[in-house]
Amino acid sequence: MKDKTFQTKFKRRQKGKTNYTKRLALIKSKKTRIIIRKTNKRIVAQAVKFNPKGDETIAQANSSELEKFGFYGTNNTPSSYLTGLLLGKRMSEKKAIIDIGRRKPSHGGTLFACLKGLLDAGIEIPHSKEALPKEERINGTILEKYFKENKEKFSDYEKKGITDITKKFEKAKEDILKVKE
């Protein structure tokens, strides 16, 4: 029997879902990983610890949960911030490392808004201040301006009774900060 001349990659690597070199480096840090993923409709954030038998999810938050706090949660910047804040309040461990997967980091983007929410909840995560979005993006000021100019694109917001995004954001933020760990 001849030796193989080509060795196939792991299935998740073939599909472009996992970068195993990056994952191994994050696991070797022995810190809790904060996994942030953006889908077409929401933001999902999880605090995960490595276990040889399989990763253990310690806490999780999802932007669709924000409706409990009076905010219409989608995959925009304010929703991402509030999701990070909610996850941070649910976490017992206060030190972590961020894992954005195979996405390219976009400074000031929604994934870094989630990071800002985690930081404001008291979680220590190594980061660069330049990566975090500006306050007017986080609190929805820019989104509200766009909302007023393009109401037809925000029919879901009107159905939920949200017309003043910044006020709803501040109220939801207050309510999330009251959440016990």
CATH number at residue 57: 3.30.420.100
Distance CA 15, CA 19 (A): 10
In this structure, are residues 171 and 68 in contact, taking their beta carbons and an 8 Å threshold? no
The verdict on residue 166 lying in a domain is yes
Structure-token pair, residue 6: 């080509």
The verdict on residue 167 lying in a domain is yes
The verdict on residue 133 lying in a domain is yes
Give the CA angle between residues 12, 15, 21 to the nearest 5°: 50
The verdict on residue 8 lying in a domain is no
**The pLDDT value given to residue 9:** 77
Domain that holds residue 134: 15-177
pLDDT tens-place values along the chain, 181 residues long: 566 677 777 777 677 666 767 777 777 788 999 999 999 999 999 999 988 898 899 999 999 999 999 888 889 999 999 999 999 999 988 999 998 877 788 899 999 999 999 999 999 999 999 999 999 999 999 988 888 888 888 778 778 777 788 999 999 999 999 987 6
> Residue 83: which of 52, 120, 114, 127 has the closest Cα?
114
**The pLDDT value given to residue 2:** 62
The verdict on residue 5 lying in a domain is no
Distance CA 71, CA 82 (A): 9
Distance CA 28, CA 50 (A): 9
Rg (CA), the chain: 19
The verdict on residue 146 lying in a domain is yes
Distance CA 138, CA 69 (A): 17
Distance CA 154, CA 58 (A): 34
> Residue 36: which of 92, 129, 110 has the closest Cα?
110
The verdict on residue 7 lying in a domain is no
The verdict on residue 9 lying in a domain is no
Burial of 138 (0-12, 13-18, 19+ CB in 10 A): buried
Please count the structural domains in the chain. 1
